[in-house]
Structure 1
């Protein structure tokens, strides 16, 4: 069985940070965890201290751990649920950058 990480960098919409965090931690994580193959998730926020003083575009980062034979199964489930009652998208969601990584064994 292959293992993947679904890494999502994101921001709250302007002025909606509290609502964004409540929605993401309280509902969205559970909705994504209900997709086939998702075995874990962790949310992070950008630390105040960094090695390099590089500007960072995103404040939030979420790692979803996925284990399944065909990543397309997860992608299809995610896309069919996004924006429905099974996975509502809150207006507090700002921009995001989702990327899949395959775990090297």
Structure 2
């Protein structure tokens, strides 16, 4: 069994930050944490303290324990396509990014 971090950057559609955050904190975070293999999830807001451009205003980090982390992503997609997970129209889906990291 491996340990992984799933790192997600995201943003809201223009003017929809309050709706986006209400949905993410009230619904989506719990839906992702309910996936098999996901053991914890946390969200963060970007703060501009370095000169580097920030990839997105919001970051979510999920801890995963699984044989194959791709299976977690596959289940997330399956549930999403089956309507078992919600999606908010406040999400700027085109700019959302997901990365997976393995713990050493």
TM-score by length of 1: 0.90
**Which has more strand, going by share of residues?**
1
Mapped to 2, the partners of 1:5 and 1:14 lie a distance apart of 28
The equivalences for 1:93-104 within 5 A come to 93-94=91-92, 95-104=95-104
Residue 89 of structure 1: CA displacement?
1.0
Calculate the TM-score normalised by the size of structure 2. 0.91
Cα deviations by residue, 1:21-65 (Å, 9 ceiling, x for unpaired): 0000000001101111000001000124x2x31222300000000
- Report the counterpart of residue 78 of structure 1 in structure 2: 76
Q: Distance in 1 between matches of 2:102 and 2:51?
A: 29
Aligned to 1:64: 62
| Runs of 4 or more above 4 Å deviation | none
Alpha carbon RMSD of aligned pairs, Å?
1.2
